[in-house]
Structure 1
């Protein structure tokens, strides 16, 4: 990939398709796997014995995917180059007893996942997606992509002070979406509806992991269409860029001094502590098994990890024109200014000076500009999978990303150039 004179519309169009096809983490990893298979990757089961053959492989577990490519003849102690990201986004998730309602309205009981901007989910046409677990233990993805649910806001006539005192939402009482009418709310209505929509027989579904999503498609925005509005860019923008970069590295045919890896985790938005989160053993187990499958020893594993670098790619904050005082006065990342390097001396981000040098070299090789981001000292700083990856695996990690507005909204805003610029930088990084 080479840096575009304006932006690569094909890459951004493809990101829009990726966002639309990925309303849940389970759909996101399935979409990424499909693209990697087209580049020659094959799925390996964690319960099978692994061989040390070269080529592209991936492990799929729930809403997480780890994919890696072993070049021909590579030594067991060869370090990894990892692009890390996460597949989940803040949203509303269906409770174990989903059927509820009041005063003639049918509603779906939801729980708040992560830290969404709750007001962004009001008065918006919503679909339903996720994973169904069947009686035989298999799973089935479900995506109701038509207008199905809505969280209606209270009319201003019944809340005259809303524009002066601010909108106040009770997470339990005010965020339950409606999906129909009827005085007789029966347990099993929602699941029976999903079984019918999925072509399943009644009673076949015994478990579910379901969430709502905005059905409004991504779109270019602005006079010159230099902006991109869409859902779940935090952090599917990075998952897409990492997938595209890994596929490009494999198909470019260049000699690779490292083993390129994509690690996209679930549950970053609520702390990463799960078997599919960055604080779980998945990444370390996959990397170790790759070393051992190629005849490596524990010493080879230690040498490989010592030379490994991970770019933790997640969205960051572009300077907001209406709230510029909330940003650090000397660090104002702009959309379409290239990817951002995220720094926090209290290790909320994992970047240090040596990590900055690695990222700067990749951007220079790719001909991509980059920007620096730090938080205002008076504002608490967010965090990423970066510090978790560094601490859990002893891997040098650098936090980067793309600057956006409206982070954690049901619909976020980025520059249309930046996704492609990020992917270019990731290609150069993975190629070493």
Structure 2
């Protein structure tokens, strides 16, 4: 079949696009995952309650993180886990505690840079605002203004004649404050507006975690629509694939292992939080699950000794305009299947047995896979993989989907690769 007549099965990727649309913040991503789990019969449990050891699916939510697991019939206290891990956060611009500002007759929003975004990609885009509002009674409410509201306006070339020759230099404090209207700025304006959008009284709002997002929806592109352009593919693509894999594994009900989904917040700034991979959430869940099934200290250690984690995060496809930035013998390509990510300095946790394990899962699922290593001349990024391995003593392998424009407001991957990844993760959880 020629490329021009190739037919892609886009059902998984279309579902991914819908998932990304309803998940403009980590809190919305967690809510979307929780909704899918509950629809499949999983039960939410509170960390403050006593847990039972009954078979079936359960999940815990803490802020922008969620851990879900399925205990099959016949599972013992020492039954090992199979974990698929990802993160819910993406680089963006986040609202400061005193957000109302302005100059020269423009009303603006004071923002702080979260993670490591490609700053220029946030210029001249229609931006919405989403996140959570914390209320006086201790509760919180999600809010999503998913329409053009904000814009970080770029300086016209007439006022910076050398920009195309000298490069664009953005001052993170002065040049990235978005505008959202005309007139004088007044304290409380933004939060009153957002509270109205959420349907709550502004006087009840005493805290917020709000962030910008690109309101342009995901889209298939290319001659054969074989590519997906979307915001937040890093790393909602993996969160979505991990969720699909857990639900498929739970439906199979194999008692040889307990499948687990761990989607953390704050990976983009180091994972050091109570909802990040460096926090205690995953370890607490695994330990409490052992105890709920009647196990003790020895059973927990036995369970963890047999546990394996796949850390799923996006990686770099070789860029056709910058091929020299990539390792010359490792050129991952879009729609070539998931990538096994290796770094001998432990920026990724993959080792030989881990490579063999994931290769076997891909073979079982009937999907291709590729290898990724950074060029020796370039620093290597990292993931939750090494953190999970070191913190919990769990054998871990790092994988992902190759893409372009990582950390841009809008990223690009192959339209087949998300389904390839989900299939491989499903085979891993069911092995």
TM-score normalised by length of structure 2: 0.98
Q: How does 1:57-96 map to 2 (within 5 A)?
A: 57-96=58-97
2:44 and 2:58 in contact (8 A); partners too? yes
1:310 and 1:396 in contact (8 A); partners too? yes
Partner in structure 1 of residue 191 of structure 2: 191
2:74 and 2:255 in contact (8 A); partners too? no
Whole-angstrom distance in 2 between the partners of 1:6 and 1:341: 27
Q: Deviations over 1:197-236 (max 9, x none)?
A: 1111230100000000000000000010000000000000
Whole-angstrom distance in 2 between the partners of 1:14 and 1:135: 36
1:7 and 1:420 in contact (8 A); partners too? no
Q: How does 1:163-202 map to 2 (within 5 A)?
A: 163-183=164-184, 185-202=185-202
Partner in structure 2 of residue 324 of structure 1: 323
2:73 and 2:253 in contact (8 A); partners too? no
Whole-angstrom distance in 2 between the partners of 1:74 and 1:401: 30
Q: Secondary structure at the match of 2:202?
A: coil
Partner in structure 1 of residue 52 of structure 2: 51
Whole-angstrom distance in 2 between the partners of 1:143 and 1:291: 38
Partner in structure 1 of residue 3 of structure 2: none
Whole-angstrom distance in 2 between the partners of 1:406 and 1:132: 31
What 5-or-longer segments of structure 2 have no aligned partner?
Answer: 1-5
Partner in structure 2 of residue 153 of structure 1: 154
Whole-angstrom distance in 2 between the partners of 1:341 and 1:201: 49
What 5-or-longer segments of structure 1 have no aligned partner?
Answer: none
Query: Aligned residue pairs: how many?
Result: 426
Q: How does 1:140-289 map to 2 (within 5 A)?
A: 140-183=141-184, 185-251=185-251, 253-289=252-288
Whole-angstrom distance in 2 between the partners of 1:250 and 1:57: 11
1:256 and 1:431 in contact (8 A); partners too? no
Whole-angstrom distance in 1 between the partners of 2:398 and 2:390: 14
Whole-angstrom distance in 2 between the partners of 1:45 and 1:322: 50
> How far 1:132 sits from its partner (Å)?
0.4
Moved over 4 A (4+): none
Q: How does 1:371-390 map to 2 (within 5 A)?
A: 371-390=370-389
Whole-angstrom distance in 2 between the partners of 1:363 and 1:101: 53
Q: CA RMSD in A?
A: 0.8
Partner in structure 2 of residue 8 of structure 1: 9
Q: Deviations over 1:24-57 (max 9, x none)?
A: 0000000001011111101000000000000000
Partner in structure 1 of residue 396 of structure 2: 397
Whole-angstrom distance in 1 between the partners of 2:147 and 2:321: 34
Partner in structure 1 of residue 422 of structure 2: 423
Partner in structure 2 of residue 342 of structure 1: 341
TM-score normalised by length of structure 1: 0.98
Q: Secondary structure at the match of 1:203?
A: helix
2:274 and 2:280 in contact (8 A); partners too? yes
Whole-angstrom distance in 2 between the partners of 1:8 and 1:45: 39
Q: Deviations over 1:159-215 (max 9, x none)?
A: 0000000000000000000000002x1111100111111111230100000000000
2:246 and 2:259 in contact (8 A); partners too? yes
